[in-house]
């Protein structure tokens, strides 16, 4: 965008330099000096059609309230938009993709959990803008039910667009305790799990501790397991790891059966990006922020306003 000096003739900086018979850098210094003295004012005017999509005040309040590195607020959530998936997550997906491309370093190992928000993020990635070294799967995605977790698309597209190597985790989200122990002792599986635990950047969504969660839809959990988790205070999960209203792990046998990055490692990661949309996920999002499980947040405006009332 060309900077214009606010005058009756609306001249560009280059045109001002020509009029004054000075170089462009000199004109720039003169304009800066005039601004400092209050003689020149530069305004950014937001078109009416874009005003509803800019939420700088809410973003700033979220950053202060939850000590976030950055918060990005998108348009209305999935409960307000048209039905259907993953199109309903397109707004937060585009916002999260833009944030990810700004924050990602070429040497980063980037970890993803699976879910519709993450599918929307990788779909919105733009080729040639950013790159990283490796993409790693943070949670198992295999299920006995016919359920599309989206992990193959997440890994394939992100590796292609970001010019990275992809590391898959060929495992279920939950297994019996002895199988999990064997995986941790297997050389290939242990390297994959370690790459996830030490990833430089992690991008994930949250699930609710209810039948609305994708874990229930995909038959990873049943009613009995959910009831037990809720009775113990669970309000949400990341990568199948449940936490309470303060973001602390809910310790059950299910935690020992989980094939995913532990919450403690997520908390330690320098760049953790939480993507959230929908009323059902509001309590889980709040708990994750209280537990410092995310340093960067992308959410819809409805979620942002709800968080700021808590």
Q: Does the pLDDT at position 76 exceed 90?
A: no
* Radius of gyration, alpha carbons of the chain: 23
pLDDT tens digits for range 230-244: 999 999 999 999 999
CA-CA-CA-CA torsion sign (111, 115, 119, 120): negative
Show me where the domains of the chain are located: 1-45, 53-307
CB neighbour class for 203 (10 Å; exposed up to 12, middle 13-18, buried from 19): buried
Q: Does the pLDDT at position 1 exceed 80?
A: no
- Provide, rounded to the nearest whole percent, the portion of the chain with pLDDT above 90: 67
- pLDDT given at position 283: 97
Where is average pLDDT lowest: 31-45, 171-185, 203-217? 31-45
- pLDDT given at position 22: 80
> Which has more pLDDT, 147 or 222?
222
- pLDDT given at position 89: 85
CATH of domain 1-45: 1.10.10
User: Stretch 119-144: mean pLDDT, rounded?
Assistant: 93
> Which has more pLDDT, 269 or 9?
269
53-307: same fold as 1-45? Answer: no
248: left (phi over 0), alpha (psi -120 to 50) or beta: beta
- pLDDT given at position 79: 54
Domain at 53-307: CATH architecture = 3-Layer(aba) Sandwich (3.40)
């Amino acid at each position: 965008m060309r900077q214009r000096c606010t005058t009756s003739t609306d001249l560009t900086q280059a045109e001002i330099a020509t009029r004054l018979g000075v170089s462009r850098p000199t004109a720039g210094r003169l304009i800066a000096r005039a601004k400092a003295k209050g003689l020149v004012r530069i305004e950014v005017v937001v078109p009416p059609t874009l005003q509803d999509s800019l939420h700088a005040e809410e973003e700033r309040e979220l950053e202060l309230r939850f000590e976030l590195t950055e918060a990005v607020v998108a348009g209305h959530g999935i409960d307000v938009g048209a039905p259907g998936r993953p199109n309903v997550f397109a707004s937060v997906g585009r916002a999260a993709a833009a944030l990810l491309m700004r924050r990602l370093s070429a040497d980063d190992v980037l970890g993803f959990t699976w879910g519709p928000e993450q599918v929307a993020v990788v779909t919105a990635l733009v080729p040639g803008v950013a790159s990283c070294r490796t993409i790693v799967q943070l949670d198992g995605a295999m299920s006995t039910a016919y359920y599309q977790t989206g992990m193959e698309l997440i890994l394939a597209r992100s590796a292609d667009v970001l010019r990275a190597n992809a590391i898959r985790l060929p495992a279920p989200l939950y297994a019996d305790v002895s199988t999990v122990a064997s995986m941790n002792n297997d050389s290939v599986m242990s390297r994959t799990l370690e790459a996830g635990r030490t990833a430089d950047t992690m991008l994930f969504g949250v699930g609710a501790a209810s039948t609305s969660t994708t874990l229930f839809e995909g038959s990873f959990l049943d009613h009995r397991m959910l009831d037990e988790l809720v009775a113990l205070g669970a309000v949400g999960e990341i990568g199948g790891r449940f936490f309470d209203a303060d973001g602390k792990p809910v310790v059950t046998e299910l935690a020992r059966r989980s094939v995913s990055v532990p919450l403690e490692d997520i908390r330690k990661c320098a760049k953790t990006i939480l993507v959230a949309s929908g009323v059902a996920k509001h309590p889980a999002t709040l708990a994750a922020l209280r537990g410092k499980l995310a340093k960067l947040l992308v959410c819809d405006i409805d979620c942002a306003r709800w968080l700021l009332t808590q």
